[in-house]
A and B are shown apart, each in its own frame.
Chain A
Amino acid sequence: MSTLILVLFLLLGTYFVAVIEEWSVTGRLRPAGPVRAALRLLGTESVLARKPDRLFFEVAPVLLLVAAILSLAIIPLAPGLIVTDLATGALFFNAALAYVLVALIMGGWGPDGAYAMIGGWRFLGQLIGYAMLVVMPITAVAMRSESLSTVVIVQSQEQLWNILYQPLGFVLFALAGMAMAFVPPFDLPTGAGDLAGGVEAEYTGVRRLVFRLGRMVLILSVASAMTVFYLGGWLGPVLPGWAWSAIKILVVTALMLAAGRALPRVREASFLAWCWKLGIPLALVNIFLVGVLVLVVPL
């Protein structure tokens, strides 16, 4: 039964993320949008670039999808409703999503196109910026829960959600998470108005469909992680746990995509400068503050 619910979560979650993504771009809620887009891509010829690195070109979209799905394995939707409750869950999330970078580098290098290649390497630069800002706020979350298990992390927020307990960490993690899922304004590797689509530029037809699907699952995964680490996961009154998880994840996705659309795209160099000159010192302050709070106010 729980397997069925988890598969449904993956499918429906991806579908809703796709609907919300289209809404954030066009301003219209079209329930049939994802289906239509998928059919259109399936009907398009899948062009192969000249002299490609065929192996990388084919593997990249699949690796993106697999990495994103794997990272969802440690997301608890309700008590007991989780694929695998690893003792190193919060770390596993990062380990799985590190392969998003590998996928984008492969996808950028594979088709032997300048725009795609620049897009792929850009994401590597982006990782240098956001990586620390994903890991360091999670450290502070784990300090409070005294565990890396995502289930224990949610349980540790019974009294007070982490968004209120460590708001600084939430802001940093939210921005870094958006950079990790390369949603606007951090969509440097695939920006539509920039580099002609970057990594996505040379992908057409079914390969592009898999790539876009992986991207949607990735956004779902980052939104789920924000919910689990900072918004109390399944915790909430009246409604059952899974409903709260679903509501929070969808709201986070909508806010993330809508807010990103309203902001101007960040330039690579300024992103790195902001991350290292402001973000990392703030993340260290956050770890220090949470350390003091954990000792002084054991909530």
Chain B
Amino acid sequence: MTAQVFFLAAFGLAAVWFGIVVFRTHSMVRSALALLFSQTAIGAMFLVMQAEFLGVLQIMMMATEMSIMAIFMVMFMMDPGGLGEMDMKHQRKLSLAAGVIAFLAAIGVSVFADWGPAATVVPSADEQLRMLGIELLGRSMLIFESAGLTILTAMIAATAVAVQMPAKKEDAS
């Protein structure tokens, strides 16, 4: 139990530290990959909490997602290498306030929400997989399907905007 708490705290601190690194560096790629390792640390926290599937999924998905984000950051920023020492922090007061409020809200939810009794026995990893599958095809199906459809719509819309149509032929007249 104590080892579990220790590793949970260690990975949690790692996640927070990499989150800070995101804003300390000037390089877009470093920033994106720092965010990746922050998310990977959260995946490791899932593993420590014996949620094997969630952990592995988090670690897998974030690697590709953050890499794709990195190339977009490189494409859109004027100084992707950070050689010009561009400042990563903007609208300091607003973001500070937003950050503090979000932090307090998260703490508030975690303290005051009724989480029900804590699980005493952790189901085995196979059992968790089965339960997750049934959950996805039952109560949560509508949520997941509508989220999936929304993402698909966004993908099609983004592609439609990005595709360069061949120029229309001029009329012969």
- Listed in ascending order, the chain A residues whose CB lies under 8 Å from chain B are 51, 53, 55-56, 86-88, 91-92, 94-95, 98-99, 101-102, 105-106, 109, 112, 121, 124, 127-128, 131, 147-149
Contact = CB atoms under 8 A, between A and B. Distances in A.
Interface SS of chain A: helix
A56 B30 contact: yes
B111 to A, nearest CB: 32
22 contacts: A55-B30, A56-B29, A56-B33, A86-B52, A87-B53, A87-B128, A88-B125, A88-B129, A91-B53, A91-B60, A94-B60, A95-B56, A95-B63, A98-B59, A98-B63, A99-B63, A101-B63, A102-B63, A105-B67, A124-B67, A124-B68, A124-B71
Contacts of B125: 86-88
Contacts of B67: 101-102, 105, 124, 127
A149 B56 CA distance: 13
A128 B70 CA distance: 14
Contact of B36 (A53, A92, A102, A149): A102
B163 to A, nearest CB: 13
Interface of B: 27, 29-30, 33, 36, 52-53, 56-57, 59-60, 63-64, 67-68, 70-71, 81, 83, 124-126, 128-129
B63 A87 contact: no
Contacts, number: 66
A53 B53 CA distance: 34
A57 B37 CA distance: 17
Contacts of A87: 52-53, 124-126, 128-129
Given A56-B29, A147-B126, A88 B64 contact: no
A38 B68 CA distance: 34
A225 B33 CA distance: 28
